[in-house]
Amino acid sequence: MLGIGGYSTVNAAGVDNAGSWDAIATGRSGLEGNALPWCDLHCWVGEVAGVDDEALPEALAAWDCRTHRLASMALQRNHFRDAVAASVARYGAHRVGLVLGSSTSGIRTTELAYAYYRSKRRWPDDFAYRRSHSLDAVCRFSAQLLGLLGPMIAISTACSSSAKVFVTAKRWVDCGLIDAVVVGGVDSLCLSTLHGFHSLQLLSDERCRPFDARRNGISIGEAAGFVLLDKQAAAINFVAGGESSDAWHMSTPHPEGLGAQASMDGALRAAELSPCSIGYVNAHGTATLANDRAEAAAINAVFGVGAVPVSSTKGVTGHTLGAAGITEAIVVIQALEQQVLPPTAGLCEQEAGLCLDALTQARGARLHHAMSNSFGFGGSNCSLIFNRAD
Partner 1 sequence: MTLQFDIHAAGALAPGVGSLADLLALRRGEFVMTNTATALPSPQSLPANERRRASQVVRLTMACAEQVLRVSPFPVDSLRLVFASDEGTGEVCQQMLETLATTRQVSPLLFHNSVHNAPSGYFSIAYQSRQPATSVSLGKQSFAGGLLCAVSEALSSHQPVLLLCYDPAMTDPMHALLPVSSATACAWVITAGDGPVISTLALARFALTLRPADNDEDDLLPSWLPLAWTANSSALGLAALGLLDDKGAPGACDLRLGAQRMRLERLDGATAC
The residues carrying an active-site annotation are 159, 284, 319
Please give the torsion angle defined by the CA atoms of residues 245, 249, 250 and 253, in that order, rounded to the nearest 10 degrees: -70
Closest CB 26 distance from partner 1, rounded Å:
34
Burial class of residue 214 in the structure, from the number of CB atoms within 10 Å of its CB (0-12 exposed, 13-18 middle, 19+ buried): exposed
How far apart are the C-alpha atoms of 346 and 339, rounded to whole Å?
22
Of 191, 233, 234, 355, the one binding partner 1 by CB under 8 A: 191
* 199 touching partner 1, by CB under 8 A: yes
User: Which span sits near partner 1 by CB under 8 A: 7-15, 237-245, 296-304, 351-359?
Assistant: 237-245
Q: Which is nearer to partner 1, 189 or 345 (CB)?
A: 189
Closest CB 78 distance from partner 1, rounded Å:
25
- 265: helix, strand or coil: helix
Question: Whose CA is closest to 254, among 141, 262, 286?
Answer: 262
Residue 364 pairs in a beta bridge with 340
- List binders of partner 1 among 97-116 (CB under 8 A): 98, 103, 107, 110-111, 114-115
Closest CB 349 distance from partner 1, rounded Å:
30
User: Which span sits near partner 1 by CB under 8 A: 1-9, 139-147, 225-233, 349-357?
Assistant: 139-147
How far apart are the C-alpha atoms of 350 and 211, rounded to whole Å?
6
Q: Decide the pairing of beta strands 369-376 and 280-282.
A: parallel
Q: Are 205 and 61 in contact (CB under 8 A)?
A: no
Closest CB 43 distance from partner 1, rounded Å:
14
Q: Which is nearer to partner 1, 140 or 231 (CB)?
A: 140
Closest CB 201 distance from partner 1, rounded Å:
9
* 380 touching partner 1, by CB under 8 A: yes
Q: 353-374 burial string, b = 16+ CB within 10 Å, else e?
A: ebebbbbbebeebebbbbbbbb
Of 196, 290, 337, 360, the one binding partner 1 by CB under 8 A: 196
How far apart are the C-alpha atoms of 118 and 111, rounded to whole Å?
11
* 346 touching partner 1, by CB under 8 A: no
Q: Which is nearer to partner 1, 22 or 114 (CB)?
A: 114
Please give the torsion angle defined by the CA atoms of residues 306, 287, 283 and 361, in that order, rounded to the nearest 10 degrees: -70
* 157 touching partner 1, by CB under 8 A: yes
* 376 touching partner 1, by CB under 8 A: yes
* 198 touching partner 1, by CB under 8 A: yes
* 257 touching partner 1, by CB under 8 A: no
Q: Count the residues in the chain.
A: 390
Which positions ≥6 away from 114 have C-beta within 8 Å? none
User: Which span sits near partner 1 by CB under 8 A: 2-10, 47-55, 173-181, 331-339?
Assistant: 173-181
Q: What ranges in 210-282 are assigned the alpha helix state H?
A: 258-271
Q: Which is nearer to partner 1, 171 or 214 (CB)?
A: 171
How far apart are the C-alpha atoms of 327 and 339, rounded to whole Å?
18
Catalog residues that contact partner 1 under the rule CB under 8 A: 93-94, 98, 103, 107, 110-111, 114-115, 117-118, 123, 129-130, 134-136, 139-140, 143, 148-158, 164, 168, 170-172, 174-177, 191-192, 195-200, 243-251, 258-259, 262, 266, 376-380
